Structure 1
Amino acid sequence: MHSTPQNHAHPLGFLIAFGTGGLLALMVQFNGALAHYGNSLFASWTAHAAGTVAALLFLLVLPRRRPSSQPRPPAPLWAYLGGLSGAATVVLSSMAVNSPAGLPGTLALGLAGQLLFGLVADGWGLFGLPKRRITFRDFAALALVLAGSLLILLAGKGAA
């Protein structure tokens, strides 16, 4: 089943996505600093412990919803892999940010990897996503992100 993407997004969605990108940059920098003074595994455990504490606090503060009369189906097993990929992301980005790539190179290459995986997931309809035909525009966007990543990495080497 093919779905057509909606071309009119709410501006708040763009602001939230932009803010999330800023938070991701902060997270990578903070985890990189933890890894620098400890190691990447320590950075990952610390980040996930802080996230657990924050989630528990949110559960205490946010109002509870009444359960609906219809029981929810159980989540598919692959949905639990999010924690594994999150832990791997923290460990690997903590290592990469302390490499010659630095924070900009780590984020640029991370964005390129996310975009490539997103195109693959959309094209094949992985993880319950609706299949979407990948267009030339998608490949052009990927090429531009990769070119920008290379510029960041190559320009950063000359400045060091």
Structure 2
Amino acid sequence: MLLLVALAVGGLIPIQTAANSRLRVSVGNKPVVSALVSFSMALLVAVVATTVLRGNPLPQFAEGASAPWWVWLGGVMGVCFVLGNIVLFPRLGAVQTVVLPILGQVIMGLVIDRFGLFGAPVMEVSWLRVLGALVVLVGIVVVLRAGKRPAVEGDAAGVELWLYRLLGVLVGVGSAVQTAVNGYLGTIAGSSLHAGEINLTVGVLLLLVAALATSPRQLARKPEPGPWWMWLGGLVGAAFVISGATLAPLLGTATTVIAFNAGTIAAGQALEARGAFGARRNPLTAARLAGLVVIFLSVLAVRLL
């Protein structure tokens, strides 16, 4: 059941990416401003959810307890994840934007599990788990090769293309760190809901400083009208942060991030196949479907073997 929850949460990420990318257009093409709006909405959702479900929105740290410096990295990595996706989506398209981070997430997730980094429980990384992760990568390659579409205006090419792809991998590394950090933070802050609040508060503060430094005039302007779904980014962001903090200690960081992204890939393919949420339409082929099946089976292998 926990794997199914992780897959479902991962399936929301392409919607967040598309929504934030569209919101960027309505705020003067300023990615920092659109990310700030998304994070602010996510923080509001997290505060309301924590108040309703836990009775007190304030973190409940044990008296005299001290948090390690790296607990604040979750918010930093969350900012990098959202900004990275906003930048990558119009350059690489939905498929590569949601798939490439897996390379970084799988590797970093296994490293975190193996060495118990960021307060994560040490979990054996057997050769079978590594094999399962490698098969996930094979599925990714199949999906990418089968998902090629004719180039359109705005696509990255040449050296620029590979730099954007590298950025996608690094975004994935940061996402794995965020999941592990938030998982630990949830154990010392009172709950995963409180951990989500802290994560999002750090993100809002960082983005507010960045927006004031780079786009102060845009903050005073009302966003231009757009489709209703461009406001969904914050809601999805809150669900993703809270779910990551809840699931990572239970499933392990590697399994959590792989399951998240298996769901993300499936949803990304569906989004492109239907051209939904502003994505460029790219019909689903048998080869791409085969790649998705390989990825799903590999997620189960990483968890069960």
Query: Do both share a fold (TM > 0.5)?
Result: yes
Contact 1:123–1:133, Cα closer than 8 Å, also in 2: yes
- The amino acid across from 1:139 in the alignment is V
Q: Cα distance, 1:53 vs. partner?
A: 1.6
Q: Cα distance, 1:72 vs. partner?
A: 6.7
Rounded Cα–Cα distance in structure 1 between residues aligned with 2:91 and 2:37: 21
Rounded Cα–Cα distance in structure 2 between residues aligned with 1:36 and 1:148: 33
Structure 2 counterparts to residues 58-137 of structure 1, below 5 A: 58-64=49-55, 71=63, 73-100=65-92, 102-137=93-128
Structure 2 CA distance for partners of 1:16 and 1:33, relative to 1, 3 Å: same
CA deviations 1:70-90 (Å, max 9, x no partner) are: 637232221111000000000
Contact 1:34–1:42, Cα closer than 8 Å, also in 2: no
Rounded Cα–Cα distance in structure 2 between residues aligned with 1:131 and 1:148: 27
Corresponding residue SS for 2:11: helix
- Confirm whether residue 56 of structure 1 aligns to residue 47 of structure 2: yes
Aligned residues: 146
CA deviations 1:22-64 (Å, max 9, x no partner) are: 1222212212222355232222112111112212322443342
Identity of aligned residues (%): 28
Compute the RMSD of aligned alpha carbons.
2.5
Of structures 1 and 2, the one with the larger relative CO (CA 8 A, separation 6+) is 2
Structure 2 counterparts to residues 32-43 of structure 1, below 5 A: 32-37=21-26, 38-43=29-34
- The amino acid across from 1:30 in the alignment is A
Extract unaligned runs of 5+ from structure 1: 1-10
> TM-score, structure 1 length as denominator?
0.76
> TM-score, structure 2 length as denominator?
0.43
Number of the residue aligned with 1:21: 10
Rounded Cα–Cα distance in structure 2 between residues aligned with 1:40 and 1:150: 29
- The amino acid across from 2:31 in the alignment is S
Structure 2 CA distance for partners of 1:96 and 1:148, relative to 1, 3 Å: farther
Contact 1:123–1:131, Cα closer than 8 Å, also in 2: yes
Rounded Cα–Cα distance in structure 1 between residues aligned with 2:25 and 2:102: 23
